Structure 1
Amino acid sequence: MEDNLPLQNCNNDDALSFKNNMFKVRQIKQALQDSLKGAIANALYESLKSQQVEIDTGIIINHHYYKANERWFVEGIDCEILKIGASGWQKGKVKIKTTLEFIPDEPEVKEVLMQNEEETLMRNELEISQLDSPLDELRKMINQEN
């Protein structure tokens, strides 16, 4: 099975800590892939079936039929699509891809935004202080008249 669980900004040897447990990214990805091929795939099939969406995921090998729900996550399920405006059905597969994301806590993002805002305010204040005051022009005009 291809690695369809990318974890952005992390590599397989990075460690993730969950309270008192620590795992390498590789371990979590492998456990998720195994779950997708087993219990989660079966639960997906049963859940869809309970909603009257029964999709045959079976495969025939050596004249024997096997229910293969993991195909949703591995190679995909054969199907056809009829698109609006198309001249006919197009064959293909539907595959469920999953992602595993690490999202940093918000305070770090807020700190960066606050730093950016402070820098912008300082730049604006510096620009304002470097500009001539509108009163300077009036003073020049009054001085010229006198």
Structure 2
Amino acid sequence: MEDIFKSIECNDDDVVEIKDNTYKISKIKSGVSQSSNEDLSYRLQQQLNSRSIYFPSGDYFSDEGIDCKILTLGSQNWKNGKIKFKLSIEFCIEEDVEINNSQDLDITEVESSLDKLRRRLQEES
């Protein structure tokens, strides 16, 4: 199945409505950050352990990461480094999905207002 979610740049003051609740993006980011620093790392470690993957205790979502070594294909030596996990928020705009999945249209993407402005500026040049 094709992944229809695309990362988009959200401003901290943008607002998302989920069911009957509305939240600023900044509040969601803060909540995710606080959760990832506490509970999510613990839960991830428990889930990995249940699958016989044992990482040391630590905050897997912190910027510091956790010490590790990696052996890449074709390399003859281990390389020291750090590993961390990133949690992202992605949004799928339904109108884009409808247009992209339409069999009657040849359009693959919706032109944004910024694209229209760029095109107009190029035409004036």
TM-score with structure 2 setting the length: 0.67
Deviation for aligned residue 1:8: 1.8
Equivalent in the alignment of 2:12: 12
C-alpha separation in 2, matches of 1:84 and 1:20: 50
Contact 2:61-2:84 at 8 Å conserved across structures: yes
User: Is 1:77–2:80 an aligned residue pair?
Assistant: no
Question: Could you say what secondary structure the match of 2:44 adopts?
Answer: helix
Equivalent in the alignment of 1:27: 27
Question: Could you say what secondary structure the match of 1:38 adopts?
Answer: helix
Equivalent in the alignment of 1:110: 98
| Aligned 1:50-69 pairs, distance under 5 A | 50-57=50-57, 69=58
| Aligned 1:39-54 pairs, distance under 5 A | 39-54=39-54
Identical positions, percent: 30
Question: Could you say what secondary structure the match of 1:40 adopts?
Answer: helix
C-alpha separation in 2, matches of 1:94 and 1:51: 19
Over the aligned positions, Cα root-mean-square deviation in angstroms equals 2.4
C-alpha separation in 1, matches of 2:99 and 2:84: 40
Structure 2 vs 1, CA of residues 25 and 90 (structure 1 numbering), >3 Å: closer, same or farther? same
Structure 2 vs 1, CA of residues 117 and 88 (structure 1 numbering), >3 Å: closer, same or farther? closer
Larger radius of gyration: 1
Moved more, 76-85 or 29-38: 76-85
In terms of fraction of residues, the more helix-rich structure is: 1
Equivalent in the alignment of 1:91: 80
Structure 2 residue runs without a partner (length 5+): 1-6, 108-125
Deviation for aligned residue 1:32: 0.7
Structure 2 vs 1, CA of residues 96 and 112 (structure 1 numbering), >3 Å: closer, same or farther? closer
